[in-house]
Amino acid sequence: MLRVRKVTYLYQKFTSKINFLTMNKPKTIKNIIFDFGGVILDIDPQLTMNELKKIGFDDVAYFTSKDFVENVLNKFERGILTPEAFRQKIRELTGKDTSDRAIDEAWNALLLDIPRERIAVIEQVRKHYKIFLLSNSNEIHYELYVRDLQLRFGYREFDQLFDKAYFSFDLHLSKPNPEIFEFVLNQHKLLAGETLFIDDTLVHIDAARKLGLKTYHLQEPERIRDIFVNGKLKKDLISG
């Protein structure tokens, strides 16, 4: 009886040690969720500010104000405002009857291009991980960069380059709302601990981390080519 108890004790001690070791072992990254603007696509918001000034916005600081961000930008990015309604807002705010085309051109000025080498990096990464795109964006911008993807790279849509691409205006959800991350995880049955989220905006990174995702805050002048080697994440880049 004593012997049985001793064996049981040793066994429990052994398994708890194993549990302890596996619990602390960093999980392998199997999935990667990429932000778009500033991570895949190069952008320069100042260029849009400059162009908006030309179509009648004297105070371009207004574009970073709480009023504009909450009442116009966030609603446009969540697909609550249509492109037509957004353009109308711009006309109301400037008090000028600017054409759709001139508004779109000013709005799109911030979009630079997707460098060819970045597409090559993503194609390599896809050989090793399930990859997703998760972008806060709006329909006017989308029309332009999807055309760029088609004409320059021969992909019909972002769903061909990634396992799946998600845009806030389509989901009616935007980062850093936790629901948008939960949606993507649930949709593909991904485990948060096996999923890396790469974004250049710190509040998005913090929101994802709170849900248990692994995160990487990409900061200028770093580019995604700097964090992968032949499509695999550099060792020791992601802790825990």
Positions touching Mg ion (CB under 5 A) are 35, 37-38, 200
Residue 38 vs 115, nearer CB to Mg ion? 38
Residue 84 vs 113, nearer CB to Mg ion? 113
Q: Please state the φ and ψ torsions of residue 217, each to the nearest 5 degrees.
A: -90, 105
Give min distance, CB of 207 to Mg ion, in A: 13
Give min distance, CB of 74 to Mg ion, in A: 15
Residue 67 vs 220, nearer CB to Mg ion? 220
Q: Can you read off the two tokens belonging to residue 122?
A: 């993503």
Cβ(167)–Cβ(135) below 8 Å: yes
Half-sphere exposure of 27 (CA within 13 A, CB side): 15
Q: Can you read off the two tokens belonging to residue 155?
A: 């992909």
Residue 87 vs 218, nearer CB to Mg ion? 218
Cβ(38)–Cβ(198) below 8 Å: no
Residue 100 vs 139, nearer CB to Mg ion? 139
Give min distance, CB of 224 to Mg ion, in A: 12
- List C-alpha distances in Å: 201 to 39, 101, 197, 213: 10, 30, 11, 15
Cβ(179)–Cβ(146) below 8 Å: no
**Nearest residue to 204 (alpha-carbon basis) of 230, 168, 234, 231:** 168
Residue 34 vs 228, nearer CB to Mg ion? 34
Give min distance, CB of 235 to Mg ion, in A: 25
Q: Which residue is nearest to Mg ion (CB)?
A: 38
* Dist. CA 14–CA 20, nearest whole Å: 10
Give min distance, CB of 174 to Mg ion, in A: 12
Rounded to the nearest 10°, the torsion over CA 153, 159, 164, 169 is: 100
Give min distance, CB of 58 to Mg ion, in A: 28
Give min distance, CB of 102 to Mg ion, in A: 26
Other Cβ atoms within 10 Å of 75 Cβ, number: 18
**Nearest residue to 211 (alpha-carbon basis) of 185, 184, 192:** 192
